[in-house]
Amino acid sequence: MNSSDHNHGGPTSPLRPAARHASPGATLPLAVRVEALEEDLVGIVGRPNVLSDAELRAPYEVDWTRRFAGRCAMVARPGSTAEVAAVLAACCARGVSVVPQGGNTGLVGASVPPDDSGTCVVVSTRRLSKIDPIDKAASQVTVGAGVTLAALQNAAAAEGFAFPVDLAARDSATVGGMVATNAGGLHVIRYGAMRQRVLGVEAVLADGTVISHLGGLLKDNTGYDLSQLLVGSEGTLAIITAIRVSLVPETPHRAVALLGLESTSRALDVIDKLRANLPGLQAAELFFEDGLALVRSHARLGPPLARAYPVYLLVEVAGRVDCTDDLLNALTVLDLPEDAAAIGVDTSTVTKLWEYRERHTEAVSAIGIPHKLDVTLPQSHLPRFEKDLRSLLAGRFPEATLVLFGHAGDGNLHVNVVGPDPNDDAVDEAVLTLVASFGGSISAEHGIGRAKARWLGLSRSASEITAMKAIKAALDPYGILNPAALFAGA
């Protein structure tokens, strides 16, 4: 490991000596320790980067869904890896817990304080926003954890590359947060999720120790892969400060088809056929008639097709040369009625067609605070799961509105349930139990966070959870990093 600081230009204030081996000073009352910590943090990141005023803290204390909120003592905004290290060393020495936060677009409640005690520190990574020059020979780049997905995508495009993980929260979600959640998104069928793009990370452990492995070597069998261990760790093992990612060649030509279909089974059949005929297929997104109606009324959009269909599938193909004919030829094989497809090849039509799918999340939020359940099923079980889910909700939660959509090509459905009290998790329990009965996963891409910690055992065995807890205890022995995430009651 070398311990180079990716953001070496950052620190302006003198760093306090790290209290690495001090055990949390638990002998003093927590309120006294938190007060002393504020002075420590001001000494590390400077007064303007310690937000303790309620109004300044507020945007960091509630999550995107509004279902999860809490209160912290302060928000610390370090500007370099060295500052993150000093902040964590100080929090560890004072025995004060830390919630790492990037863009705060996470959907499982783990980026905000877990309760109203006002005793934790939110560490925001947004100032870690440096993008190194692209290593063109290797098709790689190192970026700070606070770089947004859109900024990384734009930097890659400027040099003829693409960063192919994509999601609707691209303007706010940070690369660090996307690594911490192993974000999936819209192009997993072609390029995989974040895990497949991460070649190495720099991170700070709970006691302030920096670990750094940003060399980007393709072959590197030198023991445990600590970088991959941090992918999907949801801020429970370390704060990621920089990431080395792999890029792909830019594919500037895109073509999209929005198809109206009669059933979910038919949508899966279409996906199978397109996969076989379209090597450039990069998205296969599913939504339903009621979800489309909600999006259309929220976003004031006209109908995409001449008539309504029960099921919609949005498919996208992209390449280095025009791929419109590829898409049209592949659609011919499907034998669809003529008016059942809307095609987009220019940027404006492509963007418009994507709106019908991408705006589901905000349209759901506009009608209430959802129970948001992000699940994967073995693909062949999707139609049966959909049927059982609809009858389960109609029978047990008649007041519920279900908005179902997702990445059908990955077997990933987003189950949004609005109506039941957001503080009552009976509906979460019922849906996740149904998912487990199909051999599915209770979290496809958003993570476990706070929202699903109680049900981790539905997807992971007791011995797996014990092994995960052992790793947590080894890297964060005082349990100060995101204590409410992942493990219930940890």
Residues forming the site for ligand 2HG (CB under 6 A): 168, 360-361, 372, 374, 414, 416
Q: Are 195 and 228 in contact (CB under 8 A)?
A: yes
Using rule CB under 6 A, residue 201 touches ligand FAD: no
153 vs 416 by CB, closer to ligand 2HG: 416
171 vs 289 by CB, closer to ligand FAD: 171
Using rule CB under 6 A, residue 93 touches ligand FAD: no
Question: Could you tell me the CA-to-CA distances from 278 to 272, 324, 409, 412, 468 in Å, in that order?
Answer: 10, 11, 13, 21, 40
> Which residue of 40, 61, 386, 445 would you call a contact of ligand FAD, by CB under 6 A?
445
> CA-to-CA distance for 391 and 122, rounded, in angstroms?
41
Min dist CB 361 to ligand 2HG, Å, is: 3
175 vs 238 by CB, closer to ligand 2HG: 175
Question: Could you tell me the CA-to-CA distances from 433 to 150, 438, 470, 488 in Å, in that order?
Answer: 36, 9, 26, 17
> CA-to-CA distance for 256 and 346, rounded, in angstroms?
9
Select from ligand FAD, ligand 2HG, none the partner in contact with residue 145, using the beta carbon and a kind-dependent cut-off of 5 to 8 Å: ligand FAD
Select from ligand 2HG, ligand FAD, none the partner in contact with residue 208, using the beta carbon and a kind-dependent cut-off of 5 to 8 Å: none
Using rule CB under 6 A, residue 103 touches ligand FAD: yes
Using rule CB under 6 A, residue 114 touches ligand FAD: no
Handedness of CA 119, 122, 123, 127 (dihedral sign): negative
SS3 152: helix
156 vs 314 by CB, closer to ligand 2HG: 314
Using rule CB under 6 A, residue 482 touches ligand FAD: yes
C-beta nearest to ligand FAD: residue: 177
> CA-to-CA distance for 182 and 479, rounded, in angstroms?
22
200 vs 440 by CB, closer to ligand 2HG: 440
> Which residue of 141, 183, 418, 453 would you call a contact of ligand FAD, by CB under 6 A?
183
Using rule CB under 6 A, residue 60 touches ligand FAD: no
SS3 381: helix
User: Rule CB under 6 A: which of 62-81 touch ligand FAD?
Assistant: 64
Using rule CB under 6 A, residue 209 touches ligand FAD: no
Using rule CB under 6 A, residue 240 touches ligand FAD: yes
> CA-to-CA distance for 331 and 316, rounded, in angstroms?
12
SS3 394: helix
Select from ligand 2HG, ligand FAD, none the partner in contact with residue 235, using the beta carbon and a kind-dependent cut-off of 5 to 8 Å: ligand FAD
> CA-to-CA distance for 146 and 184, rounded, in angstroms?
18
- Secondary structure letter of residue 218 according to DSSP: S
- For the chain, the maximum distance between any two Cα atoms, rounded to a whole number of angstroms, is 74
Q: Are 280 and 326 in contact (CB under 8 A)?
A: yes
Select from ligand 2HG, ligand FAD, none the partner in contact with residue 459, using the beta carbon and a kind-dependent cut-off of 5 to 8 Å: none
> CA-to-CA distance for 5 and 95, rounded, in angstroms?
25
Using rule CB under 6 A, residue 111 touches ligand FAD: yes
**Beta-carbon contacts of residue 289 (< 8 Å; ≥ 6 apart):** 308, 309, 310, 311, 312
Using rule CB under 6 A, residue 104 touches ligand FAD: yes
Helix axes 347-358, 360-367, angle to 10 degrees: 40
Binding site for ligand FAD (CB under 6 A): 64, 99-107, 110-111, 125, 145, 167-169, 173-174, 176-178, 180-181, 183-186, 234-235, 239-240, 361, 445-446, 449, 482, 485
